[in-house]
Amino acid sequence: MTSTTNVTIALWNRRFAWVLMKFNHTRLIRLAIMFLTIIAACFFTSCRKSSGSAEVHDLSPLPAGIVHPNDRTIGVFVALADPKHQGLAALPESIGDGDNAETNLYWGNDEGLKGIFDRSRKWKLVDKNETAQSEVVLSRRTYRRVGVNLVMIARAYRGSAMKHCIQDFEGAVAHGAFDLVVFIGHDGLMDFQLPMPARAADQRKTPDCMALCCLSENYMKTRLLAAGGRPIVLTTQKMYPGAFILEAVANTWEAGKGLTEMRESAGNSYSLNQKISKKAALGVFSNLKDNAN
């Protein structure tokens, strides 16, 4: 609680106590002062929480020993494809079921996060929790980069929980919960608005961040900067956010390459998958510059 809050509560307490003392009700005075202190503290706490700072939800702890003290971390927030609840074109039922992570386009499908990273020779699955962790998080998988101190923790969010997924993504950026924070899915901000996030007072680090969804430069860049993040890969067009892009960029990011190289990694992987020219694929991704708004 801030010093201003403490002073304000103290003034309220003295004023209220003075009025009651005129009636000489000692016990009533004590009870009233205690009640007033609790109410005032709750009021000011509520005001602080509604100030726009993003908060992290559903980050249930990993088993002990999965992440080592010297590891860098990647946090991935995957909003499952769900045409019923999102502005997506119709999809076959299996890959478009936002309540089934195992078959979903963005998770269990061959080009979803689980499909890509389970097959990868550079990443090893070290932990999984396929039991729903909350009403919105359906699955979690944790991978370690082979031979490197780098761990990736990915969560699959129910398709109908798009708002929650984006807010958790932005909250992880605002709090510096990971070294790299990634969103994969439909760009829900094309369909609705959310309060602007803000860098948390206790942000542990300035994280790099990626948003693999349609037009993320337009809809998310300003928000990620406000949350205290450093965007490294964003998009300029409508696109397909396959997890093969994340794999390519994560390997380049881990090697310490710059924004240009990470954009090229994204473009090259997209070119191969979509069978389009490298020039066209590169144009899907923003030409970001450090220290540029």
Indicate the length of the chain as a whole number: 293
Tell me, what's the pLDDT at 57?
54
Q: Which helix (H) or strand (E) holds 119?
A: helix 113-119
Residue 290: its pLDDT value, please?
Answer: 79
Query: Rounded to two decimals, what is the model's pTM?
Result: 0.80
* Residues β-bridged to residue 209: 181, 231
Distance CA 177, CA 179 (A): 7
Tokens linked to 209:
């961040």
Q: Which distant-in-sequence residues (6+ apart) come within 8 Å of 179 by Cβ?
A: 72, 73, 74, 205, 207, 208
58, 137 contact by CB (below 8 A):
yes
Distance from the Cα of residue 226 to its chain's centroid? 14
Instruction: Please list the ranges in the chain whose pLDDT falls under 70.
Output: 1-60, 291-293
SS3 136: coil
Q: Residue 84 to residues 80, 97, 102, 104: CA-CA distances in angstroms?
A: 11, 9, 18, 13
> Phi and psi at residue 140, in whole multiples of 5°?
-140, 135
- Are 185 and 79 in contact, with CB atoms under 8 Å apart? yes
pLDDT at residue number 135: 86
Query: What pLDDT score does 62 carry?
Result: 80
So what's the pLDDT on residue 228?
Answer: 98
Q: Is 83 helix (H, G, I), strand (E, B) or coil?
A: coil
